[in-house]
Structure 1
Amino acid sequence: MTFHSLLLALPLVLAACGQSAPPPSEAPLAGARIGGPFTLVNQDGRQVSDRDFAGRYRLMYFGYTYCPDVCPVDLQRLMAGYKLLEGSEPAVAAKIAPIFVSVDPERDTPAVLKQYVTAFSPKLTGLTGSPEQIAKVAKDYAIVYSKEERPGASDYLMNHSRVAYLFGPDGKPIALIPQDGTPEAIAAELKRWVR
């Protein structure tokens, strides 16, 4: 190879270095004991189970509607990433069911959830249930939460795990989605795993 042809080939080699790597053969959460069956109530007051999402990828985030800061910011980013994916890869986005599960069933009634989730996306499903149902789902999905009473205040906060999971069409865990990332990073991570 001559020096001149080497110089011509160099941009192609450098361009290849900038390309994203193909996804690993195994998902990061493959085999993790996260997830399981559930029966809860959606924002329309209808009973919903995990079977209603069979065959679709599930983007799941746990939080509560009275959250003063973290939950709305995370949901805004997640749904912005999802919307970006809808615009660039509508067929991929159509395979994903975004789901918000409340860890505050005392306040998060279906009516409250409906107003909350529709502010982020018409595609976002909100789920709530009895305290016992929520406790079981949280345990199955490795979510820790607790009520924090505030001295002198009439309301309370909920401390909870901050994580967004992607589950496959079979309900098995695939990966964590960077809820604190940019919409572009979130869309790219979803596209990486959704087939």
Structure 2
Amino acid sequence: MARNKRDTSLRKVQLAALGVTIAALAAMVWVALRGPEGGPDLGQGDYALQATDGTPFTEATLHGRPSAVFFGYTHCPDVCPTTLGDVAGWQRDLDSAASQLRIFFVTVDPERDTLPMLRDYLSWTDGVIGVTGPRPEIDKAIAAFRIYARKVPGQGSDYTMDHTASVMLFDSDGRFVEKIAYQEPIETVLPKLHRLIGIEH
């Protein structure tokens, strides 16, 4: 009888631990897909990165023209290719107005994502600019944009990255305006982009 009670108690503890683990994983996925909380200081910080077009990427880069910024990595199996495909669709729908919007893809995996790697990865896109730099500077950018990024170990030395999947929109003064959720319908995306670049409808 005592053993049965111990077994029952152990199962309860195991189930409780499993529940906590599932809840924690669900929370991480929710945070990643939801994206960062907005605010006037989003994107502001002392990070100093390099872009594939040969220019620096700093807080000042967000000034001058409207910008879309999202984080990812070249070994991403699904979210990043999907988002880049969505971006290509947005550009097609914006037509000639697409040139008014700068789009930045900032890596969360600088150990593998060098400038040449990013240039090759983004070569099929219409002007998406890749951004990388030393790990400490990437971490500063991750903090400044308040995104989620975490390394997930795989087999051997392999790994993937969990990361925020939303796209952040900034006006020509470098102020955060709003975000586009992962795989958000084009019916709500286009009005956001039109407002950002000043197209009246």
**TM class by smaller structure:** 0.7 to 0.9
Q: Deviations over 1:106-152 (max 9, x none)?
A: 0000011001112222x1100001000000000010112111111x3
* Residue of structure 2 aligned with 1:164, choices 167, 176, 185: 167
**Does residue 34 of the first structure (1) align with residue 42 of the second (2)?**
yes
Counterpart in 1 of 2:14? Answer: none
**Contiguous gaps of at least 5 residues in structure 2:** 1-36
Per-residue deviation, 1:181: 2.5
SS at match of 2:181: coil
CA contact (8 A) 2:53 2:129 kept: no
The within-5 A match list for 1:17-56 is: 31-37=39-45, 38-44=47-53, 46-56=55-65
Mark the CA change 1:143 to 1:78 in structure 2 (over 3 Å): closer, same or farther. same
Q: For the residues of structure 2 that align with 1:79 and 1:179, how far apart are their CA atoms?
A: 14
Q: For the residues of structure 1 that align with 2:58 and 2:119, how far apart are their CA atoms?
A: 18
Mark the CA change 1:35 to 1:154 in structure 2 (over 3 Å): closer, same or farther. same
**Does residue 60 of the first structure (1) align with residue 69 of the second (2)?**
yes
More helix by proportion, 1 or 2? 2
CA contact (8 A) 1:177 1:190 kept: no
Q: For the residues of structure 1 that align with 2:170 and 2:144, how far apart are their CA atoms?
A: 13
Q: For the residues of structure 2 that align with 1:187 and 1:179, how far apart are their CA atoms?
A: 14
Q: For the residues of structure 1 that align with 2:50 and 2:120, how far apart are their CA atoms?
A: 15
Percent identity (aligned) = 32
Letter in 2 for 1:104: D
Counterpart in 1 of 2:16? Answer: none
The within-5 A match list for 1:111-190 is: 111-121=116-126, 123-150=127-154, 152-183=155-186, 185-190=188-193
How does the TM-score come out when normalised to structure 1?
Answer: 0.74
CA contact (8 A) 2:106 2:131 kept: yes
CA contact (8 A) 1:147 1:159 kept: yes
Q: For the residues of structure 2 that align with 1:177 and 1:32, how far apart are their CA atoms?
A: 17
How does the TM-score come out when normalised to structure 2?
Answer: 0.72
Mark the CA change 1:180 to 1:133 in structure 2 (over 3 Å): closer, same or farther. same
RMSD: 2.1
Aligned residues: 161
Q: For the residues of structure 1 that align with 2:139 and 2:190, how far apart are their CA atoms?
A: 30
SS at match of 1:118: coil
